[in-house]
Structure 1
């Protein structure tokens, strides 16, 4: 058992490590899916690169499956605790922890060679907000080969238009107690932010639609898409709600769609100027991502 930390060190850890780590570690659906996928992908003796290890769960799963694991974590405090977790579980000889981002790794210096398997759980509620695509682009360019197996192997991002003054009010303000506060809206978030959609009154205005498909076995590139979405209900489109599906291979998936015990919330992007919708008409959605950020623009059109 690792020695207890001094109280000052404990306080530093509590301040430096976000508390959502605990919800993530206790997400049984996520953990079970990754265990199945890693046990399927990793063969005894494989060299495994684990990107963004957090508390070390994915690295431990890969080592238990027979891999020789090199894992990285950019948060130095998280990396320190992950190293203690790895040692406490008896895998210190099978896992090498590197306290740096994967984009700083060099084959031949940090890794003995190009890995047979890459595992990663660096996905936020909207899939790309934790620079997952940026890390994968770098990995394709600098770290992996054409035969490297990836867990997950890909993902899909979905969206749905909703009417919800509650969600819109999380990111915009109008008149309060007779005072015009709209100048403050320059500080509104232009991208998405996490929220439990079921905690906010909302009305669905159109069927769900796929925004982007990602194949992680190929280098990701920035993309722009225009979609025409048929509207099924009169209303006001205040926001788009987004969720992902991760393909972990062999039919194993994990998603943050809807309610449940999943630790991920849904991604919400509000529209600065809400759009009036009419059943039987349509809206045009322009979706863009630059590997790190995603934005949606909406305008009315006709079928």
Structure 2
């Protein structure tokens, strides 16, 4: 029999004894978190031990180097790009100033870094309930909020918003719903179910919603890095059989594709009135320019009220990317007519071209 190469977890009493023995030694504490707790699936406990170790000796570079992979594991890199989207922040600040000119309580769903909650307080919110279901992100947001002097006006709750209860977590339904659990396709982070629940239970009838509307746009495009995303001839060998196994969609930067058609609005999501999002299908006729068509680029245009628009294809956008959807590659002559199709089930989206 071949021996199992995987490390075996140590029994719980022995683990606790070792943790007690290294208490007060930051490097040893982090090493135990890494080798004992992570190995047995106790990720949250491992993170807690790391934080305790760093609190004992904040300047300990070795302990910090060992702790970083544990503390950052599973934390989305998008937090660090979204927080740099200064134009988006400016647009939301203007929209919030309009909505909160007379104060009000804000429910912030998908609070993430806490930036929008703090912008809401700056805009005049009397209090913000910031809901962030990842407890580690929520903890970092709480620390940032306290550092900036907003802890008395922002309550961070590390739970899914569908677990919130009026009378326990909120004194009464909120006046404004601010939500940011968004994906490049609008739906992928589960906003349909979240918004339906919030509208039914957690906000006042007619409460303002920000963002209240988003258009989903798509166009036929040329992938400028197509050779990196598909197989063709490799050293004289035909490898195209593998292309059916490549990823069906991926995020793509604006400078990595060229439009082969004007964009079309396939879906217009209006969530301002609280009506639930339903599965839908749509199609639009496209006229192509000359060139290779590799797929479909899809992006969003948010409407924040009073003419404020945030288009995720704009050059200075950091919070979102266009989503590239693979199609069969073909060469288009000028004026080629195709039909662009889209469908969604309130969570996933699909796009294809019909020639």
CA deviation after TM superposition for structure 1 residue 56, in Å: 0.5
Moved over 6 A (4+): none
Q: 1:203 to 1:147 in 2, by over 3 A?
A: closer
The aligned residue for residue 34 of structure 1 is 92
User: Counterparts of 1:116-135 in structure 2 under 5 Å?
Assistant: 116-135=175-194
Deviations 1:162-200 (A, max 9, x none): 13362x44543334234444454454333x4211131x3
RMSD: 2.5
Structure 2, unpaired ranges of 5+: 1-51, 59-63
1:217-237 CA distance string (max 9 Å, x none): 232111111222223x23332
Alignment match, 1:208: 263
Contact 1:41 1:151 in 2 (8 A): no
Is residue 2:144 matched to residue 1:85?
yes
User: 1:161 offset after TM fit, Å?
Assistant: 0.7
Equivalent position of 2:250 in the other structure = 193
Unaligned runs of at least 5 residues, structure 1: none
Of 143, 160, 168 in structure 2, the residue corresponding to residue 109 of structure 1 is 168
Note if contact 1:52-1:72 (Cα within 8 Å) is conserved in structure 2.
yes
Contact 2:173-2:201 at 8 Å conserved across structures: no
Which of 61, 77, 84 aligns to 1:19? It is: 77
2:217 paired residue number: 158
Match of 1:122, SS state, is: coil
2:159 paired with 1:94 = no
Note closer, same or farther for the CA distance 1:282–1:104 as it changes in structure 2 (3 Å cut).
Answer: farther
Matches of 1:105 and 1:179 in 2, distance apart?
Answer: 58
* TM-superposition CA deviations, 1:145-165 (whole Å, max 9, x none): 431101111111111111336
Q: For residues 261-300 of structure 1, what are the structure 2 equivalents within 5 Å?
A: 261-271=317-327, 273-300=328-355
Determine if contact 1:156/1:214 at 8 Å carries over to the other structure. yes
Distance in 1, matches of 2:186 and 2:326, equals: 17
Higher helix share: 2
Task: Flag the 1:105–1:187 CA change in 2: closer, same or farther, 3 A.
Answer: farther
Query: Alignment length, in residue pairs?
Result: 292
Query: Which deviations, in whole Å up to 9, do the C-alpha atoms of 1:257-297 show, x marking residues without a partner?
Result: 142353422221111x2344343341112201112211101
What do the CA deviations read for 1:61-108 (whole angstroms, capped 9, x no partner)? Answer: 222323311111122211110011111122222111111222333333
Look at both structures and tell me which one has the larger radius of gyration over its CA atoms.
Answer: 2
The CA deviation string for residues 36-71 of structure 1, in whole angstroms up to 9 with x for no partner, is 111211245512100111111111122232331111
Cα deviation for residue 138 of structure 1 reads: 2.8
